[in-house]
Amino acid sequence: MSHRIVLALSLLLGGTGTPAATPGSELASAAAQDVRAFVTRREACDHFRGEPVEGEGAEALARLEYVQRQIYENCHGTDAELARLRAAHAGDPLLREALAGFEYPIEQAGEVAGPDSDIDLAAEPALHSGVYGALTLGVDAANGRFSGVYQADGDPACSLRLRGLLDRTDEPLRVVAQTRREALRDAQAQPGVIGARLVAGLDGRGKPTAWLRLDQVPEGCPQLSALSASSEGPVAQTLPGSWVSVHWIAAERAYFHAAADSSTRRKAYVTRGDTLRGYAESDDFIELEFVGPSGRATRGWVDWGDVLPSLSLGDGADM
């Protein structure tokens, strides 16, 4: 907790030189004490949540069990309590600020379900390819990167494409994002790129979750406001996948090929702005799959020249 918030909460609780208590001040003091107790508890939870566990032997397993058991025993119910306190003190700027730093849920990040549960190292939170509601993610673990598309309601131009590196495990993954409107306007200059964060987790049933948060809402896309609201939470995986990337088509027509060779062109094609899932790559072609609204899938090789260039990650991180 920051020194400024500690001091302000202490004053509300009645530090040196505070005036005599009144019914109103007693209520304020009780509220501040409630919040302060929660903040202290939740900060301890965040400490355990970020505890690194390395290795694969018995010692690592014992450490993992200890960390996850601490999360269960000390943090169970804190997500619901955080939501309750935020709603109760939404009109108090000081208390609202004291609660603002706890952005990511603890109880949907893979802690054990109870004291007698077995600990499974394979159940550690990790980003997985699949569909998460409106978000389709492709994870290329071999090359340490991920990409995705978020389908916006109502206006396809406000749909987002995403790209990032798998370089962090205990904190949100940094993401670059761009609306389809901007992506198709200038594929090379890549205008309107914004920052975002992506958090991988597990729900209470052990199903992978993904939580996308935008650093800012793209202009003209109010339907994306929910992605910057603290009230929104992780979305469970609705369909697992084996694809490793997600792409948009740049050409007016992009034809499928039976092999990574221009002489094998088929009749099937996709059009500009369509979303496709990537499975394999060659120098000149990429193996893609298009899934239509009816669920029917078409898969084949597409010329790289017909695919929108990937978002630049900067700092020499592109691969």
Q: Is the pLDDT of residue 230 over 80?
A: no
User: Rounded to 5 degrees, what angle do the CA atoms 239, 240, 242 make?
Assistant: 135
Question: Residue 259 and residue 318: Cα distance in Å, rounded?
Answer: 26
Q: Would the pLDDT of 103 be above 90?
A: no
Rounded average pLDDT over 160-181:
87
Amino acid letter, residue 11: L
pLDDT score of 114:
43
- Does position 292 have pLDDT exceeding 70, yes or no? yes
Q: In the predicted model, what is the mean pLDDT of the chain?
A: 81
pLDDT per position as a tens digit, 297-317: 999 999 999 999 999 987 545
Cβ 110 vs Cβ 124: under 8 Å: yes
Q: What is the DSSP letter of 157?
A: G
Q: List Cβ neighbours of 93 (8 Å cut-off, separation of 6 or more).
A: none
Confidence of residue 85 (pLDDT cuts 50, 70, 90): confident
Tell me what pLDDT residue 307 has.
Answer: 98
Tell me what pLDDT residue 78 has.
Answer: 78
Range from 27-36, 39-48, 109-118 carrying the lowest mean pLDDT:
109-118
Helix (H) or strand (E) holding 280: strand 275-281
**Alpha helix (H) residue ranges in the chain:** 3-13, 23-49, 58-75, 78-88, 93-100, 180-185
